[in-house]
Structure 1
Amino acid sequence: MHKRLRLRNRADFSRVYRYGKSQANYQFVVYGLRRKDVEQFRVGVSCSKKIGNAVVRNRMRRMIKEIIRHHEAEIVENMDLIFIVRKGAVSMSYKEMEKSLLHVLRKASLLKAEKRSK
């Protein structure tokens, strides 16, 4: 994932937590905040120490960023997103995690409307 698509500083995270809307499933929580000053979406990932040691937490972050990179075209623009990893995601395979992540994005209405063919 490109550096320009990442949320990094504490002020950005705090703003999204305070003013953003959230949706959750058993594996992830997603916070989304619409922003006019960003051209694309930006993503931050948060993993608590309850999830596991640093190796496990970094693996979760890498997998989420890779899933987001693959589905970049489907996610709505002008948004700041934060994904919080829950304990249930640790034992999931990549495909299961991808399905769960897309589910929570769909639930939060953060995926672009799909064009239906006739």
Structure 2
Amino acid sequence: MYKRLRLRNRADFSRVYRYGKSFANHQFVVYGCRRKDTEQFRVGVSCSKKIGNAVVRNRMRRMIKEIVRHHEKEIVTQMDLIFIVRKGALDMSYKEMEKSLLHAMRKGSLLKSGKR
């Protein structure tokens, strides 16, 4: 995933948590906050230490970023998104994780209409 599509500083994360809306399923929580000063969406991933050690957390981050990269054209623009991983996502295959993540995003209308 490109650096310009990443949320990195604490102020951006805090703004999304405070002013954004959250949507969840058993595996993921998705926070989304509208941002008018940019054309692209930006993504941040949060994994608690409860999920596992650094190897497990980084693997989850990489998989989520890859899913977002594959569905980049379907995601609504001008948004800041934060994905929070829950324990239910640990035992999932890539395809199951992709389906679950897209489901959580669909719940929040974060995908463009007409797309799968």
TMscore range, shorter length:
over 0.9
Q: Distance in 2 between matches of 1:62 and 1:27?
A: 16
Give the match for residue 94 of structure 1: 94
Unaligned runs of 5+ in 1: none
Give the match for residue 3 of structure 1: 3
- SS in structure 1 opposite 2:43? strand
> Structure 1 residue 11: deviation in Å?
0.2
Give the match for residue 104 of structure 1: 104
* Structure of larger gyration radius: 1
Q: Is residue 65 of structure 2 the alignment partner of residue 65 of structure 1?
A: yes
Of 5-14 and 106-115, more deviation after overlay is shown by 106-115
Q: Point out 4+ residue stretches in structure 1 off by more than 4 angstroms.
A: none
> Structure 1 residue 78: deviation in Å?
0.1
Give the match for residue 13 of structure 1: 13
Give the % identical residues. 86
Q: Distance in 1 between matches of 2:43 and 2:34?
A: 12
Letter in 2 for 1:62: R
Cα shift readout 1:43-85 (whole Å, capped 9, x = no counterpart): 0000000000000000000000000000000000000000000
- SS in structure 1 opposite 2:40? coil
Q: Distance in 1 between matches of 2:55 and 2:7?
A: 21
- SS in structure 2 opposite 1:97? helix
Q: Distance in 2 between matches of 1:38 and 1:49?
A: 32
TM-score, normalised with respect to structure 1: 0.96
TM-score, normalised with respect to structure 2: 0.98
- SS in structure 2 opposite 1:36? coil
Letter in 2 for 1:103: H
- Paired residues in the alignment total 115
Give the match for residue 46 of structure 1: 46
> Structure 1 residue 38: deviation in Å?
1.5
Letter in 1 for 2:50: K
Unaligned runs of 5+ in 2: none
